[in-house]
Every structure is written in structure tokens, then in C-alpha cells.
A and B are shown apart, each in its own frame.
Chain A
């Protein structure tokens, strides 16, 4: 299988003390990868590194099995991007964006673009500044898709959208991924979106990768064991990776919930959501 993205020993350090890496990630073609983590965890820095918006200090990045700096222009012809809070200046209209983009991308498909605008009920002559947040996001997505990219890099594409629009957008991504060589890297805070569509989850915290696993594996095996506070000490440290003390009980994040349930028959072990996993690994006490 071809690799869409490959990051090897990637490091990016800032004067502020924040350090991303070392990152070692491989994303094969044909999958949706969800990138999760709290604010300032390094998700956007990772995305900016991939897009060469910031220069990495160390390591190599290959996209479509080509060096991301040496073949930058060629690679970017096949990447569609939706970034958080950055797009065309607000004075422009979708019609003008079409006129601009057809001179930038060799494969820009204006029929496709206008069809998207129609499907999204966007007016071609309306300035971006007069659009609602949802309309802007739809325009950004239409712009990212209209040159038929093979890789979509999306930074918080669903933030601020109402549930109806969010579902529309997620369906669009599922349509996009039907082509076997299409790949999506999707960063979000809304982990429930990823539970619906992601194949692989990368969890990043303080610049480091804490988890890089398939979604099914994560949701199937991770669980939350609950027990009264007084029984906390009876839980074997090898059985959990983090815990939280509440007022009356304690919760443990476990990586093999079925085995743990068999072992502690008096306790409840519920399946863990991505949000649970994220919260436990950030806020919980890790052993």
C-alpha cells in the first residue's frame, strides 16, 4: 500500500519552550486519520510542518512518497487544505475565488466548484465577510475539493458548525474517501466526529504522540473501570494506564476492558469514548 504521509524523527522547537516531536508517523493512502489533543498540544504545528508553512528543525517528511520540500509544488497540487481561521480575505466572493484558483491549480475544476456551491446553497456573488461561519466553512471545503486532491488536510473543519451542517460535511468527507487513493488527515476537538468516520487515531499531547492506533481497536479495547474510593488500592497498577478520583468513586482507564472485567467482577467496566481516553490521558493521574 502506498504511503500518503510519512514523518520520521520530525522535531520543531520554539523559543517559547514548546517542542514538537520526535514524531514518527506513517499514514497509508485510503484512510481517514483523526488527530486529537487539547489546545496547544501541537496539532496545528504538525499540520503546518506537513504543509511546509513552518520549517522543521530535524527529520524528514514525505508526502506521496516524495520529499515535502523538494517536491513542494508538485505535492501541493494534490493536497486540499482547510485550516482554522485562515482563508482568502473577506472582501472576496466565491466567484472571484474561482477565478483566482483556476490560475493557481492546474487541475482546478470550476464546474465541480460551482456544483459544490449550489449543493451548499452558497451565493456566488456574496462577499465572505457577509457569510455565516457555517457558510464560510462550506466555501473553504468546496475550495479544498475543487482541484480533485488526493489528500485532504483539515484543521478543525467542523468547529463552530451546527450539527446539521457538521453531518453534511462529514458525509462529504466519507464520499471523498470512497476513492481508494484518497486520504484525510483531520484534526479536531470534537472527538465524536472521529468516532463516526476515522480509521486511525493519533493522540498528541505536549508535542508528543501518546497514541497512534486504529479507531476500532481503541474503542473496542479501551474501557473505564469504576470502583468505590475505598477499593482503589485493590486495582492492580498493571491493569490501568491512568486514573481519576471522584468524590465517591475512582475511575481507571484500562486498555483491555474485557480482561479487566473478568478480573474485577464486582466493578463496572464501560467502553471508553475517544473523549474519555483524551481526558484521562491529559487530566488523569498516569502511573
Chain B
């Protein structure tokens, strides 16, 4: 699996300079007090990582991967882990830059940075968890359309539920959620990743090329 993680990261090595330029641009914007900077590197890394699926598809890599020992299982694991690794690196870099900029501007707010990056991590993991099974099932293009339909449809459904259904949530339950938000979100992220990985694994192990 280490080999396949390397493969995905090697494919992105040509993009490091673009990532660096983006970080510099958004770092510059954030000097103005904008917090957009905190989200951008992580999302850029995730979107860039999704491009590895396109390269794989273009070169029919999946067929070749299936001829390797433990190929199928390793492909799925490697995709999840390599993306998480990349997101981890992006968070560390963003954190370091946010710290430097905050210190220079004398307005360092560690808890604010933590909140923003945590929210960013949650969004990226949600995106990855929904998108990967779709990509493994339908390919990159159809997977993107599936994601769009899913997000749009899900948003509509959620909006309709909020407006039309009054959920019997007790104030005690809401208080519990508020007090334990971080551990709940961490558990939700782990849960999403495990479920998403299992679905992707199931799809890919049965897929024919």
C-alpha cells in the first residue's frame, strides 16, 4: 500500500509550485484580515488529489493495478490514506502560516484558527466520504455529476425538512450536542470515513475493467 500512496503523491509533485503560489496569494489576502485563507490550501489539495483519479482513468491504471499483488484492496486504501495525508500536510502548513501571520499582525487567535481548520477538515472529509464511492462506482466525470446531484438534492431535502418537519428535540439533547460538539464531530468524521471506505472497497473489489 505504501507503494500506491507514493504513486498518488508522486503524481502531484508537478503541482507543488502551484499549491505554493496559491498559498502565497491567499496568505497575502489574509493579511487584510480575511479568513478565507484557512480553507483554501486544504480544499486545493483535496481537489488536486481528485485529479489523480482522472490521470488513473486516462491511463487505464485500474486494469494494471488489478494485476498487482493485493492490487484492488491496496488501490482503495491508498486513495483514502494518501488524501488524508495530503490534507494533514495542508492543515499543518496552513496552521504554521496562520500562526506566523497572526504573530506579525499581533492578532493571533489560536482558538479561532483551531475552529476554522477543524470545520475545514470536517467539510473535506464529508466531501471525500461522499465522493470516493461515487468515483469508484461511476468514474470521475459521472462521480462529479453524482456528487452535484447528491449535494443539491440533499440540500433541498434538508431545507424542506427544516421548514416542514418539526423535530422533537429536547433542550437537554441540544445542550448535550452543544457541549460535546468536538468529540461528536470527530466520531462523525471517523464514522463517515469507515462507512465510505467499506462502500468503496465493496464496489472496487467487485468491479470489472
Do the two chains belong together in a single complex? yes
Against A, the Cβ 8 Å flags (1 = close, 0 = not) of B49-83 are: 00010011011110110111111001000000000
Question: Cβ of A52: which chain B residues have Cβ within 8 Å of it?
Answer: 66
A residues 54-110 touching B (CB-CB < 8 Å): 54-55, 72-74, 76-77, 79, 81, 83, 85-92, 96, 99-105
Say yes or no: A105 contacts B69, CB within 8 Å: yes
Say yes or no: A103 contacts B3, CB within 8 Å: yes
Say yes or no: A91 contacts B11, CB within 8 Å: yes
Given contacts A92-B11, A96-B10, is CB(A81)–CB(B4) below 8 Å? Answer: no
Which of the residues B3, B59, B69, B70 comes within 8 Å of A100, measured between beta carbons? B3
Q: Which secondary structure dominates where chain A touches chain B?
A: loop
Shortest Cβ-Cβ A-B pairs, 9 listed:
A103-B3, A86-B60, A104-B3, A100-B3, A86-B63, A89-B55, A76-B69, A103-B2, A81-B67
Interface size on A, residues (CB 8 A): 31
- Nearest-neighbour CB distance to chain B for A184, whole angstroms, equals 15
Say yes or no: B3 contacts A102, CB within 8 Å: yes
Question: Cβ of A73: which chain B residues have Cβ within 8 Å of it?
Answer: 69-70
- Distance, CA A83 to CA B64, complexed state (A): 7
Question: Cβ of A55: which chain B residues have Cβ within 8 Å of it?
Answer: 206, 208
B residues 84-133 touching A (CB-CB < 8 Å): none
Given contacts A86-B60, A100-B7, is CB(A53)–CB(B70) below 8 Å? Answer: no
Question: Cβ of B67: which chain A residues have Cβ within 8 Å of it?
Answer: 51, 53, 76, 79, 81, 83, 153
B209 on interface, CB distance cutoff 8 Å: yes
Q: Using CB atoms, name the residue of chain B closest to A100.
A: B3
- Distance, CA A96 to CA B12, complexed state (A): 12
A166 on interface, CB distance cutoff 8 Å: no
Question: Cβ of A51: which chain B residues have Cβ within 8 Å of it?
Answer: 66-67
Which of the residues B61, B68, B206 comes within 8 Å of A76, measured between beta carbons? B68
- Distance, CA A51 to CA B69, complexed state (A): 10
Question: Cβ of A105: which chain B residues have Cβ within 8 Å of it?
Answer: 68-69
Question: Cβ of A76: which chain B residues have Cβ within 8 Å of it?
Answer: 67-69, 71
Say yes or no: A88 contacts B209, CB within 8 Å: no
Question: Cβ of B69: which chain A residues have Cβ within 8 Å of it?
Answer: 72-74, 76-77, 104-105
B6 on interface, CB distance cutoff 8 Å: yes
B residues in contact (CB < 8 Å) with A: 1-4, 6-7, 10-11, 14, 52, 55-56, 58-61, 63-64, 66-71, 74, 206, 208-209
A48 on interface, CB distance cutoff 8 Å: yes
- Nearest-neighbour CB distance to chain B for A182, whole angstroms, equals 18
Say yes or no: B64 contacts A81, CB within 8 Å: yes
Q: Using CB atoms, name the residue of chain B closest to A153.
A: B67
Say yes or no: A104 contacts B209, CB within 8 Å: no
Say yes or no: A54 contacts B209, CB within 8 Å: yes
Q: Using CB atoms, name the residue of chain A closest to B54.
A: A89
Question: Cβ of B52: which chain A residues have Cβ within 8 Å of it?
Answer: 89
Question: Cβ of B70: which chain A residues have Cβ within 8 Å of it?
Answer: 73
Can you add 6 more A-B contacts, CB < 8 Å, to A86-B64, A89-B55? A51-B66, A53-B63, A53-B66, A83-B63, A104-B3, A153-B67
Question: Cβ of B11: which chain A residues have Cβ within 8 Å of it?
Answer: 89, 91-92
- Distance, CA A52 to CA B70, complexed state (A): 11
Say yes or no: B6 contacts A103, CB within 8 Å: yes
Given contacts A48-B209, A51-B67, A76-B71, is CB(A86)–CB(B6) below 8 Å? Answer: no
Question: Cβ of B58: which chain A residues have Cβ within 8 Å of it?
Answer: 89-90
- Distance, CA A96 to CA B7, complexed state (A): 8
- Nearest-neighbour CB distance to chain A for B108, whole angstroms, equals 39
A residues 175-201 touching B (CB-CB < 8 Å): none
Say yes or no: A100 contacts B4, CB within 8 Å: yes
- Distance, CA A101 to CA B3, complexed state (A): 6
- Distance, CA A7 to CA B28, complexed state (A): 64
Which of the residues B3, B55, B206 comes within 8 Å of A90, measured between beta carbons? B55
Question: Cβ of B208: which chain A residues have Cβ within 8 Å of it?
Answer: 53-55
